[in-house]
Structure 1
Amino acid sequence: MLATGAYERQLPFPGWTVPGVVAAGGAQAMLKSGLVLPGQRVVVAGSGPLLLAVASSLAAAGARVPAVVEASGYLGYARHRVPLHSRSAVTEVHGTDRVQAVTVSRVGRDWRPVPGTGRRIVCDALAVGHGLVPQIELATSLGCATRRTPDATHALVLDSLQETSVPGVWAAGETGGVGGAQLTQAEGELAAIAVASRLRRKLVDGARVQRLRRRRDRMRAFADAMANAHAPRPGWTDWLGDDTDVCRCEEVTARRIREAVADLGAEDVRTVKLLTRAGMGWCQGRMCGTAVACLAASGSDGNVPPSPERRPLAVPVPLAVLGSLAEADD
């Protein structure tokens, strides 16, 4: 039974490596773990319903949120009197040692910035995220089949009882597509019934299963609609300057990736990785995978998700190992 969750999708832009730029979910995790604010004036930006929850949490904890910047279209949302800028995106961060301000630009339906619309908003932190990506590496290493989701990621192919394409392997939650806690609960209950029935060699409880299926399918349909509404559009790559770092771990710029495609003939993510090392750093492409895939998608829709990779091993990393690495750096 796999329930490995998801991680945040990040799209690069000039200045996204400046201290004070944090993931939207990371800002929320900071609050939940110790009521630590990433800053006093925090702009929340990106796309997806998570932004509203993050902005609300930050405001409730005492931060001032000068704006929520949503790249997709949203109808009049406002919490804690926080201005909401829909069809807009943070296209640049200003500051050296710390965030000092951000540039917010209007974007079209394809997320391409509208010339002349950029304006600065003073802040000392930026919480940014563009949705969630199912974490399916463990499943794909077992050979589980995947499907492309409405927001251009990959999720597992599951049957009506949450079983994957590999017999005896079930999954629930974000591995089958991001949809929230209630959907996860319904999927987990369905999978548990299926597993117990298989072990006991008994038929599943028909009426109960049917109710859970209807509930799951209804919530999945809503989740897919939300995913489609907030899916990154191909015009976002116009945010990138040639010197913008796309792969932070290996310090690979947008220029190098574009040169690999235009001058060296790279036609897919794997070839770009081999030519530039993009995605070969410590995060293994979790931060840059989407961006590299989009930049490598020359001649396509420009919004191609990175193909799920099968890795031979999945092992836990003890905190002692991470601690020893920090000591070695010192």
Structure 2
Amino acid sequence: MTHRDIVVVGAGPAGLAAAEGALAAGARVTLIDSADQPGGQYHRMLPEAYEATRPEALQHGWTAFQRRLRRVRGHPDCAWWSESSVWALERPDPAPDRDSDLDRDPDRDSDPDRDREQPRPPRVHVLRGPADGSGRRRTTLEPDALVLAVGAHDRVLPFPGWELPGVFTAGAAQALAKGERVVVGDRAVIAGTGPFLLPVAASLLEAGAQVLEVLEANTPRTVARGWSQRPWQLAAQAGKSGELAEYTALLLRHRVPYRTGRTVVEARGDGRVEEVVTARLRPDWSVVPGSERTLAVDAVCVTHGFSPQLELPVAAGCALRGTLGGEFVAVDDDQATSRPGVYAAGEITGVAGAPAARAEGALAGWRAAGGDPDTAAVRRLRRSRDQGRAFAERLARAHPIGAAWPGWLRPETVVCRCEEADYASLCRAAADPAGSAARVAKLATRAGLGPCQARVCGPTVAELNARLSGAPADREAEGLPVPAPHRRPLAQPIRLGELAAAPQPPHQP
């Protein structure tokens, strides 16, 4: 029996389940993640040096996670690559040239059956070692199949003062609280939209911070209308109801008010945030005049949903699909993408929570390894995955981003924090017929050209440019080219010295 070599990128709930599924199907697995421990944001763990006596305090499903982790890490056919970043995916030529292929493993070259397998998934270029270290080494993997489970990051809409120190994404604040027991401030406000506001508040409270308010921007009617449609479908999400009850009890115990239809529209301070202005919002997120309130704080945690990390899927050539919740990787019933040999799971296919991500990951790993597509277990995974997709649609309806949010902006409001490009510069570029094209506007304003390479500001800048230039809201429906903000040849930063150094062969599991 020939074992398939599977590379799984990302070790969160989806990636860990994918590794377990591929191992169960008899594959050899290389599990890659930039963190030093598996778990992703959902199961972010304290460093071992902390010797935590109750590591499950900030976790849900800790026992099941630990069991899965032991099965994966302890499997003889699994190689765990921590502190490793996939910096590029290289699509192979249709007919491989054995004299010119980069970084080919000579041991694998000797198998003629592999050369006849067409088409091949992309080569995976990896940097191994801490991101801030000087001894990282470059290597390349050529798997039989690739599972991408790279997750998502917070989307944050700009507002006056959001660039001040002390204004954090909610995900960053939670990561510090869960992974380091560090609080971002003593008096914090959490604002934005979506259920993620609640676990962030719980993490800060458990770590010792005072949470003054949790602010959901959408009105009670919008939230209720989104969650109340087809309520019988919520029976499949009983676990989430239990989590909601826990978070609600925690907020009540700490007397933290949860307000809907209100958000942070300005942060103020001399050198760092000292106070915020909150305001009541209409359903379209326009500010209700006279509803502003000022609150003294030393930290603000903001999230307006999630942006999937699509750099690697786009580099692999995977097709994307637009949904109510944004743009995600298109997959079929087996989690296979449009690129042969490439599978996707988790938040890059839709933000539906950890249970759905685990189901998608297990299905992707099993099928990537050639597992039977019609077993009872596979059918259960597909049902769980489909329930998760229905939950994602409900989530997008209950917590949309209102169309009138640009009304918060002022001419001097920073839109791209890396390059300090402000709203006025975007307006000037859009008003100039010669500079309104997306690429020209990017060069003129420098928005998106900084270190984050538009990962934070990209969706916002694209939306504002479309509004200011009068472009159709749905360019694809109008037959116009759709911008590809995720198309980056280098998915992660790499030093020139690392790029010039000869790649080293990978250590096989």
TM above 0.5, yes or no, is: yes
Q: For 1:235 and 1:59, locate their aligned partners in 2 and report how far apart those are by CA, in whole Å.
A: 32
For 1:171, the aligned partner's letter is: A
For 1:174, the aligned partner's letter is: E
CA shift for structure 1 position 239: 0.7
Q: What secondary structure sits across from 2:359 in the alignment? A: helix
Structure 1 residues 97, 2: CA separation in 2 closer, same or farther (over 3 Å shift)? Answer: same
| Residue equivalent to 2:299 | 125
| RMSD, aligned CA | 2.3
| Residue equivalent to 2:352 | 179
**What does 1:94-243 correspond to in 2, within 5 Å?**
94-151=268-325, 153-197=326-370, 203-243=372-412
**What does 1:255-270 correspond to in 2, within 5 Å?**
255-264=424-433, 266-267=435-436, 269-270=438-439
Bigger Rg over Cα: 2
| Residue equivalent to 1:326 | none
Q: For 2:473 and 2:165, locate their aligned partners in 1 and report how far apart those are by CA, in whole Å.
A: 29
| Residues 16-69 of structure 1: per-residue CA shift (max 9 Å, x gap) | 111111110111011112211111100001111111111122122221111111
- Unaligned segments of structure 2, at least 5 residues: 1-146, 225-243, 476-481, 499-509
> Aligned residues: percent identity?
47
1:41 aligns with 2:187: yes
Structure 1 residues 88, 159: CA separation in 2 closer, same or farther (over 3 Å shift)? Answer: same
TM-score (norm 1): 0.88
- Unaligned segments of structure 1, at least 5 residues: 322-330
For 2:404, the aligned partner's letter is: G
| Residues 69-103 of structure 1: per-residue CA shift (max 9 Å, x gap) | 11113569852321112111211011112211100
Counterpart contact for 1:67–1:84, Cα < 8 Å: yes
| Residues 94-113 of structure 1: per-residue CA shift (max 9 Å, x gap) | 11122111000111111111
CA shift for structure 1 position 310: 2.1
Q: For 1:156 and 1:312, locate their aligned partners in 2 and report how far apart those are by CA, in whole Å.
A: 18
| Residue equivalent to 2:157 | 11
**What does 1:228-307 correspond to in 2, within 5 Å?**
228-264=397-433, 266-267=435-436, 269-298=438-467, 299=470, 307=484
Structure 1 residues 291, 265: CA separation in 2 closer, same or farther (over 3 Å shift)? Answer: farther
Q: What secondary structure sits across from 2:212 in the alignment? A: coil
Q: What secondary structure sits across from 1:170 in the alignment? A: strand
Counterpart contact for 2:190–2:213, Cα < 8 Å: yes
| Residues 178-210 of structure 1: per-residue CA shift (max 9 Å, x gap) | 12111111001111221122xxxx642332222
| Residue equivalent to 1:325 | none
Aligned length: 315
CA shift for structure 1 position 286: 1.4
Q: For 2:374 and 2:275, locate their aligned partners in 1 and report how far apart those are by CA, in whole Å.
A: 57
* Larger mean Cα displacement after TM superposition, 56-65 or 239-248: 56-65
Counterpart contact for 2:454–2:485, Cα < 8 Å: no
Q: For 2:277 and 2:474, locate their aligned partners in 1 and report how far apart those are by CA, in whole Å.
A: 24
Q: For 2:430 and 2:275, locate their aligned partners in 1 and report how far apart those are by CA, in whole Å.
A: 33
TM-score (norm 2): 0.58
CA shift for structure 1 position 315: 5.2
Q: For 1:85 and 1:267, locate their aligned partners in 2 and report how far apart those are by CA, in whole Å.
A: 39
Structure 1 residues 312, 107: CA separation in 2 closer, same or farther (over 3 Å shift)? Answer: same
Q: What secondary structure sits across from 1:309 in the alignment? A: coil
